[in-house]
Amino acid sequence: MAIVDRRGRGDMRPWAFVAPALLWTIAFFCVPFAVMAVVSLWERVGTELVASWSFANYAKFFARGHFLQAMLNSLEVTLIVTVLSILLAYPLAWILAEKVPPRWQRIGLVCAILPFWTSYVVRSYAWVLVLANNGVVNQALQGVGLVDEPLSLANSRTATIIGFVHFFVMLLTLTIYANLVQLPKNYRRAAADLGAGSVATFVHIILPLTLPGIMVGAFLTFVLCIGDYITPQILGGNSELVMPQLIMLQIGRRADFPTASALAILLMVVVTLVYVACARWLKLERA
């Protein structure tokens, strides 16, 4: 409810509360974004940025095979990670919500997401330790005689996907669990009374009702996964570049900000398109 304005219409007090945050966002988020959009139309000549005002950097994206390939790699990895993470996280969330006594659920959940709080860098490094040629997994496999030669797991797309799935299983367990525990127990009883078996109840009642939780988690996974540089850089190596790696290459090697800006904006366009496609389900959650 609005407070009755005691000083008449010209009262500027409310603005004093909102202005600092708004100005901060404009200065350090909107302006940099505008600068990036402008720079993406420039080009780098020698060590100088030249205002050439052309879409050459965007044209380059479609003309150069390895630029386009990086986007395809990004989409492929992100899609695989999202689907795998949902498939692995859903049963765990369900077990936590259904099979675990209520007083233990919270502890189970906190444990399930504890490694979530390791930093990106550390988590990826830890997976290198696990997947390295002489790492834990390979030594264990060789120890029990399953393989003779170490599997080259590190520095591959598989390693990137494992690293990502590890992170997002935790995230999705959280969002799906939150959705599952909100479902009234009566729905299940009603379904049973009407003759539905446990499988039918799950397919027709539980699964549709948890779709919002899945979609929110899937969207978060998509956004965070497609924008991440660390995991593919540490675990995937340089064989199959994804977009963030390509962007960082432009900045790091050549300080080519125009190309990097154009690539970043193209990446944002893709994320926005996915958001628009998912918006229908994302809104459901608020209802």
Partner 1 sequence: MRAGQGMRIGNILAAFYAAAIYGFIFLPVVVLVLFSFQDGRFPIPPFQGFSLRWYEELLADRRLTAALVNSVFVALLSSAAAVTLGFLAAYGLARFRLPGAGLQKALLVAPLTVSYLIIGMGLLITFNAIGFPRSLLAAGIGHVVINMPLCFAIVFSQMGEHQANAERAARDLGAREWQVLALVTVPMMWPSLFASFFLSMTFSWDEFIISFLLTRFDVTLPVEIWNMLRSGLNPKTNAAGSLVFGISVVLVLMLELTVLRRRRPA
Query: Of 17 and 148, which CB lies nearer to partner 1 in the complex structure?
Result: 17
Which region, judged by CB under 8 A, interacts with partner 1, from 52-60, 185-193, 262-270, 279-287?
262-270
Residue 215 touches partner 1, criterion: CB under 8 A = no
Q: Which stretch in 175-183, 185-193, 207-215, 223-231 sits in contact with partner 1 by CB under 8 A?
A: 223-231
Binding to partner 1 (CB under 8 A) within 64-93 occurs at 88, 91-92
User: Backbone phi, then psi, for 227, in 5-degree steps?
Assistant: -100, 0
Structure tokens that stand for 65 in this block:
């095979």
- Identify the residue among 170, 191, 215, 218 touching partner 1 (CB under 8 A): 170
Per-residue contact track with partner 1, 3 to 32, x per CB under 8 A?
x---------xxxxxx-xxx-xxx-xxxxx
**Residue type at 175 in one-letter notation:** T
Q: Give dist(CA 35, CA 37) in Å, integer.
A: 5
Interface pick for partner 1 out of 57, 123, 241, 259 (rule CB under 8 A): 123
Of the candidates 51, 79, 121, 203, which one interacts with partner 1 according to CB under 8 A? 121
Q: Is 145 exposed, middle or buried (0-12, 13-18, 19+ CB in 10 A)?
A: exposed
If 0-12 CB within 10 Å is exposed, 13-18 middle and 19+ buried, where does residue 26 land? exposed
Of 70 and 264, the one with the shorter C-beta distance to partner 1 is 264
The nearer residue to partner 1, 59 or 268, going by C-beta atoms, is 268
Minimum gap (Å) between residue 82 Cβ and partner 1: 16
Contact 71, 58 (CB under 8 A): no
Residue whose token pair is 């669990």: 177
Residue number with CB closer to partner 1 (30 or 72): 30
Question: Can residue 59 be called a binding residue for partner 1 (CB under 8 A)?
Answer: no
Could you say which residues in the range 226-245 bind partner 1, by CB under 8 A? 226-230, 234, 244
Determine the Cα–Cα distance for residues 237 and 233; give it in Å rounded to an integer: 5
For 89-122, give the DSSP string: HHHHHHHHHHTS-HHHHHHHHHHHTGGGGS-HHH
- According to the binding rule CB under 8 A, does residue 1 interact with partner 1? yes
Site residues (CB under 8 A) for partner 1, limited to 148-167: 166
Rounded CA-CA distance 30/34 in Å is: 6
Taking the least distance from each CB to partner 1, the nearer of 69 and 105 is 105
Q: Rounded to an integer, what distance in angstroms lies between the CA atom of residue 217 and that of residue 225?
A: 12
Among 120, 178, 183, 196, binds partner 1 (CB under 8 A): 120
